[in-house]
Amino acid sequence: MIKNRHTHYHRNGDWVSVCGVTFIALRGESLLYLFSFDFLSEVWVLIKGLTIISVDDTYLNLILIEGIAREIGVEVQSFDNPLEALAFIQNNRVDLMFVDYMMPEMNGLELIQEALLLQEELLPIMVTAINDDQELKLEALNCGVVDFLIKPVDIAQLEAKIKNFSKIIHLKLQLTNFNSRLQEEIDKKTAELVMREYEVLNILSRLAEYRDPETGSHIARVAHYSKLLAREYGLCEKEQDILFFASPLHDIGKIGIQDDILLKPGRLDEDEYEIMKTHSIIGYEILKESKNPYLQAGAIIAMQHHEKYDGSGYFHGLKGEEIHIYGRITAIADVFDALTSERAYKKPWSFEEAYAFVLNESGKHFDPKLVELFQKNIDKIRKIYFKFGD
């Protein structure tokens, strides 16, 4: 950069040749400044696409910053009113902001604080005539100022700040774009993994269906009944989701029960019933070693879905809240749907008969709170019943 105090020799914006090098002439205050084409080209690459604003109640300062920025390839929006600048920031992305300290209506620090509330990524540079006020500088830095430009404005410093902060802004934008692309890839891979999990859970759930073909719609209804009760009970969305996909695994242990018992067209005798009860243990043993939260929940449900609230169930005779909430919810969903479904050994009960049974078993077979929620949401239960009918 060349300073020429003989300002009358060149007009603002003229191209000037000095010793074979081409410069552009810009006038500021009482000085004439010459910028080389190479410098302008380098900075133009950096600042292309950036938005810079200048806020100052002194018109000459606005014109100076705006003129220099325009010649290096960027338009600066100038504001002599800080409130108008705030309105602009509210509706437009701003990368770099030059702010005068002493202004009417709102000083520079107040403007910066308000601006950063609107755009926390914005980089504010304070323009001030006070160079040795360390207390003011500290206050400004605490407000979010990233640098200072001292009046009278030194054009060399202004050049350097625009160039350096343009680099910083571009690096931040590159990092933001990289992080955005990385997050998109993570989300994509996560979605793929979740879909694979759901696919595996669905396949596992259908194992019991292939051994006991009358239970196909049963596992779908149990899943929806369970999620409904989980939501009404107050479980978080994640647990509702877990219960939806894990509750259909309640009878997976039936794959270990011999066909002459599992498919017997009539009531089981005492010995056969004891063998049938082992499906709870078999299901638990199949799933218990998994680190997957859905399969972990499935193991609990497989083991506990035949426990009863009063302690008279199996396999361990658990009572009340000793039974995991997953087991208590699946128990009511499983029994209600089993009653309304046809089996080799029985005709289906009507919806109302099964509903009356659930109410009657409150505090005995079922958790009273869950029975109350079941009763409160009986219309939703009925919709599930008909939507996923056999």
Report which residue type is found at 137: K
pLDDT at residue 346 in the model = 79
pLDDT at residue 73 in the model = 66
- 375: domain CATH number is 1.10.3210.10
Domain boundary among 150, 174, 198: 174
22 lies in some domain: no
* Same-domain status, 100 and 229: no
- 126: domain CATH number is 3.40.50.2300
Q: pLDDT of 30-88, one tens digit each?
A: 333 344 444 444 444 445 567 888 999 888 888 888 887 777 666 788 998 889 999 99
Domain boundary among 159, 174, 189: 174
Q: Which domain holds residue 284?
A: 212-387
* Same-domain status, 216 and 365: yes
* Same-domain status, 137 and 229: no
pLDDT at residue 204 in the model = 73
What is the torsion angle, in degrees rounded to the nearest 10, for the CA atoms of residue 371, residue 377, residue 382 and residue 387? -120
* Same-domain status, 123 and 239: no
293 lies in some domain: yes
Q: Which residues in the chain land under pLDDT 70?
A: 1-49, 72-74, 129-132, 153-154, 206-216, 390
* Same-domain status, 140 and 283: no
Q: pLDDT of 100-141, one tens digit each?
A: 888 888 888 999 999 999 988 888 888 776 666 788 888 888
282 lies in some domain: yes
* Same-domain status, 236 and 159: no
pLDDT at residue 215 in the model = 56
195 lies in some domain: no
pLDDT at residue 343 in the model = 76
249 lies in some domain: yes
* Same-domain status, 220 and 326: yes
In the chain, the number of structural domains is 2
pLDDT at residue 128 in the model = 75
pLDDT at residue 312 in the model = 95
